[in-house]
Each structure stands twice: as structure tokens, then as C-alpha cells.
A and B are shown apart, each in its own frame.
Chain A
């Protein structure tokens, strides 16, 4: 067990990582808050956007998925620079402990901090301008969404798990431009998957298929009219697939870290 995980060593590693990174992370957080406030104020004043719960939810999803993917793709950036990689790889801690510190920072801590920041910004945006009619409320993170199996929080976490695992794997695989390269491969992969999925489902049901991301819904044309099938009782299948994919990519990332050479 000592060769995989030792609680004391892990906590020391976590403290070391925090001591060496907190300044740059706080700076990044400040930048993110600035972008959210500026972007939100622009939406409210210039575009007259009412911050309804649905808008807030979309806003939160974009913030989490985009900034989370950028942040995660840089979490292993030291491994792309030989001089930093040597100091990381020769530090006497196991690969699992090093992996776990990066995972906790980019998944758990990131989600907690960004959601907290998001609520602060939303509270600010709801109070800087009052539109006619009843005051909009801050949306409940644990509210169940229609058409999804679970609360907003569960959906955000399961989808973020997928985005995070892709960015995490890319962060270890690439030496430079982690985010750009990962995003490029991700979009190419999604495009290929959609094409293959649509050809396959079209062949299965003998209909003209409407383009859709796999494991979300099935749409086709019936006598010229679009028909969408999104069986709520099967939504969990898609979410389960995303979580399994995330687990596979996290595992692959761990083994990539073990194999990393300088």
C-alpha cells in the first residue's frame, strides 16, 4: 500500500502543490471572476438579458465546461517542460498520489470554487438592474431538470466528468498547446462519432436521421415531419456512458503518467 498511497505523504504532497501553485491559481480565479462580471454585465445591460433560471443554468454550464477544460488541460503542463518534469517525476511520491492531487484540484476544488464564484456573480447580476415584473431568483443547483435524470448538479458533474477526463488525458499526452490540441481531437472525434452514429441508426430504423450527439436523443423525419425520441427513463444510459468514458480516460491518464519520460 505504501507503494501506491500513504495518507501522510499524500497530504504533504497536497500542501507542497498548494504552496507552489496558489499564487497563480488565485490570479487565474481573479481573471475568471473579472470575465464573468464583465460578460454578465454586458449581457444584462447591452443585450437586455433577463437572468432567468434557465439562462443561469446555461451560463453555469458554459463557465464550468469551458474554464474547467482550459484549467484541467494545463494541470500537467509542467510535464511538457523537461526541467519542470524532472522535478515533478523525481519527487518521492507515487504516481497515484501525484495523479490524485491534480485530479482533486482540477475536479473537486475547481467545481466547488467555480460554482461558488458563479453564485456570487449571479447575485451581483440580479441586483445591478431590475427589469419590470417579479424579481428573478437564483436557481437551485439541486433542482431536477425536465428531460434529465437528476438534478442540475448531477448533470453538470457527470458532463464535467467527461470534459474533465478528456482534458486530463490531453494534459498528460501533449507537451505543448494542451488545450488546443485536445479540443481539436475532441471535436474531430465527436464529428466522426456523430457521422458513424447517424449512418448506423439510419440503417437500423430505415429513416432519414436528424443529426444528434450519440446517447442524447434520436430524431428522424416521418412523412416530412421531424420526430424526436427522448425517453426519459433511458436518459440514465447516456449519463452512465459518459461516466464510464470518464473513468476509462482517467485510468488511461494515470497509466500515461506512470509511463511519462523526460
Chain B
């Protein structure tokens, strides 16, 4: 669905954020894009949506170059930015003026999502709190039924019950024809939500693996004492040591995204090499 070939982009010519970045995203998946602050997550998403034009290389959506923002692409992409703009309208007025532009927009779904997220349909959006504004636009983005849904830090500003509802909604709207990309630095918000992990670091996608693959290759456990264990990475927590082990037993454990992210960002080569090795090695 999304093909990025040899992407080079930077806000300053001599300081490229990406140099020769390649990435393929396929439909039917929820991708979690992780990276440190300033790693270029938002910039990468903007390149995917045609909001930033590559200095070199191309970004394609369903085979169409997104640079130039052709309508055929815009109709099938919804981009939820981290900082939102909402007009001085109620959600009902907004949808009456904007739904037309998204051919598969479903108004019934929109009102249902608003109700689930506890957003008042008659309240003027720009008079609402940031969290309420965000939820209204999340509902709009989900109801637009676009092939690609890009969300940049969608959980920023949401309270805990709303985050729970958000995760349920995202999981419920994924279809075989849809691709969802969620970028965040709040790693825990994506727990049990994403099915594929993307980690952006030093201008490269250093991890692009399904959660199943990650589980096949490494184990996440907690121990008081790790002596004699094939530990790839460990962090001391309040309940002992949280560790990443090479999965030699074929068991499955719940992926601790935060632990894995920390291991990769500090440059732990053992974890990286284990993940990059093919499953049968």
C-alpha cells in the first residue's frame, strides 16, 4: 500500500533526516512507528501523506506518487496530526461540510464513535478541551474509511478511559483493505494494539517486524536473579530485573514494547542481531 523508495529528506540541506530510507507497508496491518523525540517520525508520516516532498526518492500510495497531493490519494488517506486544527463548528456541522470529500465516509459510524468516545455532537469544537477536539477528529478519521489512516501521537491529550476506548476502536476498524500507521513516543499506549513494529532511529527504519516474529525470536521475562540465563538485555525495575532473552524454547511472551524500544535505542546489538536473524537460525 505504501512504498517508500530511497527517501532522502531534511529540513536543512546539509542535515538530512533520512538518507536512502526504504519502507513497504501493506494493507491489513496496524503499524506502530516508534522513535525518540526528533527521530523524524512526524516527518516520515508527512512524506507518506504528501505533506512534505522528498529531496530524493519517492513515496507511493497504491502505486501513485504522493508528491503533488493528487485527489485520488487524498481521498484515500486520513492524516491525524499531533497538533490539531478544528474549526468553529460543532462536529455535526463539520461533518456536514467535510464528509463529502471522503467517498467512503460513514455518518452513522461517525456518530457512533463520537458516542463511544464521549464527545458532545452539539458542542462547538474549538471551544472544547484539546482531548475532546482530538477525540472528535479521531472519530472523523475512523469514519472516513480511508485505505490509509495515519495517526501522529493520537493518544497525546487523551485521558485514561479515552485511551482504552481509542485502542478498542482502532482494533475494531481494521479490515483487510485498510492500513493504520500510529506514531508515538508513548510506547505503552500501543501495547496489544499494533501487529507490526517499526522503529525509526538515526534516519533509518532499523526494525520492521510483526509482533509475532518478535515473539518467536525473543522472550520478555522478569527475574530476581539472571545469572546463567541467555540475557540479551536487562533493566532493573521495582519487581526485579526485566529482561529480554533469546527465545530458544519456542515459548511466547507478551512483548514489552518499552523494554524492547529502550534496548534498541541504546544500541544493544545482541537484541538487534537476534531480531534481524531469520526465525529458523
Counting CB contacts under 8 A, is A9 at the interface?
yes
- Kindly list chain A residues whose C-beta atoms are within 8 Å of the C-beta of B81: 82-83, 86-87
**In the assembly, what is the distance between CA of A258 and CA of B71, in Å?**
12
Q: Which one of A15-23, A161-169, A182-190, A213-221 contacts B? A: A15-23
CB distance from A256 to the nearest CB of B (A): 13
Counting CB contacts under 8 A, is A233 at the interface?
no
- Kindly list chain B residues whose C-beta atoms are within 8 Å of the C-beta of A86: 51, 79, 81, 85
CB distance from B104 to the nearest CB of A (A): 11
Within 8 Å by CB of A262, from B51, B77, B89, B102, lies B51
Q: Which one of A51-59, A91-99, A108-116, A124-132 contacts B? A: A91-99
Counting CB contacts under 8 A, is A90 at the interface?
yes
Known: A90-B74, A91-B74, A262-B51. A20 touches B88 (CB 8 A): yes
B97 touches A90 (CB 8 A): no
B52 touches A261 (CB 8 A): yes
B52 touches A262 (CB 8 A): yes
Known: A81-B85, A83-B81, A84-B85. A9 touches B101 (CB 8 A): yes
Interface residues on A, range: 20 to 34
- Kindly list chain B residues whose C-beta atoms are within 8 Å of the C-beta of A81: 85
Within 8 Å by CB of B46, from A13, A259, A262, lies A262
**In the assembly, what is the distance between CA of A259 and CA of B52, in Å?**
9
**In the assembly, what is the distance between CA of A9 and CA of B103, in Å?**
11
**In the assembly, what is the distance between CA of A19 and CA of B97, in Å?**
8
- Kindly list chain A residues whose C-beta atoms are within 8 Å of the C-beta of B53: 259, 261
Report the nearest A residue to B88, measured CB to CB.
A23
Counting CB contacts under 8 A, is B100 at the interface?
yes
Known: A15-B97, A16-B98, A258-B68. A87 touches B85 (CB 8 A): yes
A92 touches B84 (CB 8 A): no
B71 touches A89 (CB 8 A): no
B51 touches A3 (CB 8 A): no
Counting CB contacts under 8 A, is B235 at the interface?
no
Counting CB contacts under 8 A, is A207 at the interface?
no
Q: Which of A225-262 contact B (CB under 8 A)?
A: 258-259, 261-262
**In the assembly, what is the distance between CA of A169 and CA of B151, in Å?**
32
**In the assembly, what is the distance between CA of A15 and CA of B68, in Å?**
24
Counting CB contacts under 8 A, is B83 at the interface?
yes
**In the assembly, what is the distance between CA of A86 and CA of B52, in Å?**
10
7 pairs of A and B residues whose beta carbons are closest in the complex: A92-B74, A16-B97, A92-B75, A83-B83, A92-B101, A20-B87, A83-B85
- Chain B interface residues (CB < 8 Å from chain A): 46, 49-53, 68-72, 74-75, 77-79, 81, 83-85, 87-89, 93, 97-98, 100-102
26 contacts between A and B (CB under 8 A): A3-B72, A9-B100, A12-B97, A13-B101, A19-B89, A20-B88, A20-B97, A78-B85, A81-B85, A83-B81, A83-B83, A83-B84, A86-B81, A87-B81, A87-B84, A89-B50, A89-B69, A90-B51, A90-B74, A90-B79, A91-B74, A92-B71, A92-B75, A93-B74, A95-B69, A259-B53
- Chain A interface residues (CB < 8 Å from chain B): 2-3, 9, 12-13, 15-16, 19-20, 23, 78, 81-84, 86-87, 89-95, 258-259, 261-262
